[in-house]
Amino acid sequence: MNKYLDFPWDRPLLANLYMNKLEENFKMSPSKPEMLMLYLDDYFALWSHGIEKLKELMKFGNQIDEKIKFTIEIEEGERLRFLDVEVIRSNVQKEVICRYNTQFPVPLQPQAKDKNEEDVHQKHTNDGCGILE
């Protein structure tokens, strides 16, 4: 079976199978995340059981297989980078929309509203991005 593990297509497939199994184990754990989202081989989780329990979980996860290593990022100043997104803890919905010239132009006409259903206004920045608040 190991001779088949060197094809390029198998890595995402095996990572997906592994991460799905891990997610099933998270659901059975007494200390589980409040929210758990998976993108390829990256998890985004909301954890409310304290930093020590999180470190214990990560230590356990890193002992499962020496070829797979988990890392964590912890929010600082109510902000957390995840992939190409900055997650901000706030009571107001904010979106950043970037208009770039691409082969596949998509019209971006946001109709965003905050939780009170008031209209929001777009603030433009110098890099072609707009911040919706």
The residue-averaged pLDDT of 55-74 equals 83
Residue 83: both structure tokens together: 């992939």
Cα pseudo-dihedral 126, 128, 129, 131, rounded to 10 = 60
Q: 0.75 exceeded by the pTM?
A: no
The C-alpha atoms of residue 95 and residue 90 are separated, in whole angstroms, by 12
Residue 13: both structure tokens together: 């497939």
Taking the mean position of all CA atoms in its chain, how far away is CA 115?
23
Q: HSE-up of 48 (CA within 13 Å, CB side)?
A: 5
Q: What percent of the chain has pLDDT over 90?
A: 2
Residue 60: the pLDDT is 82
Q: HSE-up of 86 (CA within 13 Å, CB side)?
A: 11
The C-alpha atoms of residue 31 and residue 29 are separated, in whole angstroms, by 5
